[in-house]
Structure 1
């Protein structure tokens, strides 16, 4: 027999799938903020706290650290891919979008070093995949014979070098340093902003 609520007392509605979707969105938003500040090694408990959910809810949506990181960073990479597919896209435009993400997120910078690590055993598979997707998007817009196409690794070594320069206490300082690093590599950077399209 189901207990009845006393007259006048409202029972909370069970939102079911709606609550699950809200919780997942809150977790991704919280992880994006925390990863941008602290990188991918930030504790998952901090993400759950910031999202306002329990750790059990986090693990229902993201069974491990890799799943959480992939959900967050896939959005960054997706923006770069969409920018590469946009009408009139060129390498300067793409570098502007890439630079915005580099200045915005310590976690995103981390995946850009994935291909250059000495042992792929120490690099999560999702980081390798995302790094390769960034490389493919950029490579499509490098002119034939460009000096960053001389050797297979040159492009991502340049990206990693710029990522290494992305330091500083403010977003503006990190962006300034990234643009300066691209300039020193002889690359023009378009407007530094996220891709909206």
Structure 2
């Protein structure tokens, strides 16, 4: 497939905490995403992005790190958020990163790789779905949950131990994401998206 035809997938590591598991989960997921001929993967680590913790007021100058990341988000056809669950929700730096942007999320599909204790991050994902609905994005039904992820390390320290369930979840998630990304990219090209078109005059 020609590179121009490939779907651009942005994988966002949502935790910035010291000792975080997010990069491990993201590396595992992106290794499988890169095996597909239809995807071009861009990994965005919020711990390295340097986004300010405080949002600007409307009309203020956009900070350089925010402006630098914007083109990568705008170029993406789809997103995967890798998120932990902290106290029944997702991390504050991830919410701040989402809120720095608006149009970059419009009419694009979003999938989730979540991790945590017994729930595997289910509550974090449920709340993120609500957030992205407000941003006119489409969250796909399937998601990859990694409960008690620390139990999945192999004796040699690698993660995860072989698991057909995990592999099947990745395939299903990527298949759904690819379908939605293709359909929505076609729609955006044919009819540029704006929330204004849904508001009555």
With structure 1 as the length reference, what TM-score do the two structures score? 0.27
Larger radius of gyration: 1
User: Which one scores higher on RCO, CA 8 angstroms, separation ≥ 6?
Assistant: 1
**Relative to total residues, which structure has the larger helix share, 1 or 2?**
1
